[in-house]
């Protein structure tokens, strides 16, 4: 095949790693691969992963994607890595991982986060100083926790990396971070785009943490070339360029073409996110809106809910339903599930800000307690959390003609209709549902070109919308959904 320009996009998520081969010349995705990760869960909300699993999954998914694409790995020009945000990977001075990575969904460090937030002067102080309000999932409280719970290990820290930074380090041997993913650490100033060294000094006055920080690079800058041994191990070209990469939301933005104002991306994954591009760091006064940097040179105001397909999955398991049976039951029940309301806060919740909340089912009667209503209620409950977040973004001036929907939940036509009705906005899926892996591959093409190719041109060519998935709100549904949403808001207010 003449004139192909092949790039490998990797998305290392909570549940597994996905690999994607993109031909940036034609804009076609040629092959996909995937491999799973296990979670280490403990009491008090501990959620960790063994980083070796990421490396094994990276390798397995890459080999699969190359085989599926039927291409020679020697033709790969560059690699881009998307990673789950906020995770903490600690290395010693030999580059060895000191302990399992604490993840974004870990809430064990809530007390440490509360103390750090108080030190910053509460939510307002945190917003003023950092441009974001630190939340229990962010990286900063994990550092304080490590210092207090594992003091001997803390003494050996030589490098502090986020999951995607760690994978870039494995690929290149270089410690770097880019602004998008760095925004979610809680020790980074999103307006000034630099580390807040004084906050790390507060955690440890010895200065150890600031010397362990990776170097910050621009989104269009490559980290460097892949190490020959790793290239051989993965079966790809040893001259491949490794892009700056970024957090999964930042890469999902690129992979949905969300790099200029007017587009909103909504991800229905294990967590739910809503975000949009902004050219300026207009920090929302709302604590729940995280005005992160984007990985395309701008900003990415974002809200994240902690409970989405994990909650729908829990109901499916409880009722022993496969995905098709579940969707059929959701469709059977009326809007508002005959008054059954689920507050799906199984993991606590970030938006609305209820870290200590638990899930609850409300409004049950002898007549409405049906499987269909339970299934409907969990889908509506999780989607109401996203509506609440979207309203916060809209209050900060974001407008959009349509919502680009990604993530596992977006594959369900019934869920797409529920989203369209609750948001009162047309929704459409991108052809490639692995938006973060696609975004990483597109960013690799951008870095490889030395930014001669504009990112907008690459997105234009490589991000395709799926016209068959376009779902418009239905007027009478919108009214009924609004009524059900108001009921949800009343229930949330009682918490």
> Which residues is 16 bridged to in the sheet?
36
> Would you state the pLDDT for residue 281?
87
Whether residue 352 contacts residue 485, with contact meaning beta carbons closer than 8 Å, is answered with no
Work out the average pLDDT over 393-407: 90
Which DSSP symbol is given to 100? P
Whether residue 409 contacts residue 312, with contact meaning beta carbons closer than 8 Å, is answered with yes
**Quick one: residue 290, left, alpha or beta (phi over 0 = left, psi -120 to 50 = alpha)?**
beta
Q: What is the mean pLDDT of the chain?
A: 95
> Would you state the pLDDT for residue 479?
98
C-alpha–C-alpha distance, residues 481 and 262, integer Å: 24
Could you list the active site residues? Answer: 248
List the structure tokens of 96.
């060895």
At 151-207, the pLDDT tens digits run 999 999 999 999 999 999 999 999 999 999 999 999 999 999 999 999 999 999 999
C-alpha–C-alpha distance, residues 394 and 303, integer Å: 12
pLDDT level of residue 313 (50, 70, 90 thresholds): very high
Backbone angles phi, psi at 308, to 5 degrees: -145, -100
Residue predicted with more confidence, 413 or 136: 413
**Token pair 């994978």: residue:** 167
Of 222, 216, 214, the residue nearest 244 (C-alpha): 222
CB count within 10 Å of CB 482 equals: 15
At 109-155, the pLDDT tens digits run 999 999 999 999 999 999 999 999 999 899 999 999 999 999 999 99
C-alpha–C-alpha distance, residues 418 and 429, integer Å: 14
By percentage, how much of the chain surpasses pLDDT 90?
A: 88
HSE, side-chain direction, 13 A CA sphere, residue 376: 24
> Would you state the pLDDT for residue 415?
98
C-alpha–C-alpha distance, residues 68 and 32, integer Å: 6
Residue predicted with more confidence, 171 or 261: 171
- Residue 435 in this model has a pLDDT that exceeds 80: yes
Domain boundaries in the chain? Answer: 6-247, 257-429+465-495
> Would you state the pLDDT for residue 2?
57
Work out the average pLDDT over 243-265: 95
Q: Do domains 6-247 and 257-429+465-495 have the same CATH topology?
A: yes
At 208-237, the pLDDT tens digits run 999 999 999 999 999 999 999 999 999 999
> Which residues is 472 bridged to in the sheet?
none
**Superfamily of segment(s) 257-429+465-495:** ATPase, nucleotide binding domain (3.30.420.40)
C-alpha–C-alpha distance, residues 405 and 267, integer Å: 6
Of 93, 334, 113, 129, the residue nearest 203 (C-alpha): 113
Whether residue 440 contacts residue 10, with contact meaning beta carbons closer than 8 Å, is answered with yes
At 345-380, the pLDDT tens digits run 998 888 888 878 999 999 999 999 999 999 999 999
CATH code of 6-247, in short, is: 3.30.420.40
């Amino acid at each position: 095949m003449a004139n192909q320009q092949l790039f490998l996009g990797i998305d290392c998520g909570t549940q597994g790693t996905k690999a994607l081969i993109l031909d940036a010349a034609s804009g076609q995705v040629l092959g996909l691969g995937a491999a799973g990760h296990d979670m280490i869960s403990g009491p008090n909300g501990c959620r960790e992963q063994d980083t070796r699993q990421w490396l094994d999954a990276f390798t397995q998914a890459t080999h699969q994607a190359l085989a599926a694409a039927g291409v020679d790995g020697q033709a790969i020009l560059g690699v881009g890595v998307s990673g789950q945000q906020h995770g903490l990977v600690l290395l010693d001075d030999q580059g060895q991982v000191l302990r399992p990575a604490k993840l974004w969904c870990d809430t064990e460090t809530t007390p440490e986060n509360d103390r750090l937030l108080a030190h910053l002067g509460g939510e307002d102080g945190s917003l003023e100083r950092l441009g974001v309000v630190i939340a229990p999932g962010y990286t900063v409280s994990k550092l304080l926790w490590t210092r207090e719970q594992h003091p001997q290990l803390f003494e050996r820290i030589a490098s502090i990396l986020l999951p995607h930074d760690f994978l870039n380090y494995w690929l290149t041997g270089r410690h770097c971070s880019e602004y998008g993913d760095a925004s979610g650490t809680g020790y980074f100033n999103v307006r000034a785009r630099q580390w807040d060294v004084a906050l790390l000094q507060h955690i440890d006055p010895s200065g150890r943490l600031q010397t362990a920080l990776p170097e910050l690079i621009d989104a269009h800058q490559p980290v460097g070339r892949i190490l020959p041994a790793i290239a051989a191990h993965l079966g790809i070209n040893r001259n491949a360029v490794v892009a700056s990469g970024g957090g999964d939301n930042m890469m999902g933005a690129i992979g949905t073409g969300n790099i200029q104002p007017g587009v909103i991306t909504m991800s229905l994954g294990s967590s739910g996110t809503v975000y949009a591009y902004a050219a300026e760091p207009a920090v929302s006064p709302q604590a729940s809106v995280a005005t992160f940097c984007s990985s395309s040179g701008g900003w990415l105001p974002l809200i994240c809910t902690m409970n989405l397909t994990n909650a729908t999955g829990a109901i499916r398991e409880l009722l022993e339903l496969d995905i098709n049976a579940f969707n059929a039951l959701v469709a059977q029940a009326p809007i508002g599930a005959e008054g059954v309301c689920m507050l799906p806060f199984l993991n606590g919740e970030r938006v609305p800000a209820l870290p200590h909340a638990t899930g609850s089912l409300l409004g049950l009667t002898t007549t409405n307690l049906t499987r269909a209503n339970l299934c409907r209620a969990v889908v509506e409950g999780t989607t109401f959390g996203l509506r609440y977040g979207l309203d916060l973004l809209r209050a900060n001036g974001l407008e959009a003609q349509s919502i680009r929907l990604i993530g596992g939940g977006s594959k369900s036509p019934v869920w797409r209709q529920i989203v369209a009705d609750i948001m009162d906005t047309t929704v459409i899926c991108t052809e490639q549902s692995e938006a973060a892996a696609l975004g990483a591959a597109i960013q690799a093409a951008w870095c490889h070109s030395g930014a001669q190719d504009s990112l907008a041109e690459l997105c234009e060519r490589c991000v395709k919308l799926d016209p068959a998935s376009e779902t418009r709100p239905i007027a009478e549904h919108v009214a009924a959904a609004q009524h059900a949403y108001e009921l949800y808001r009343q229930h949330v207010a009682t918490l």
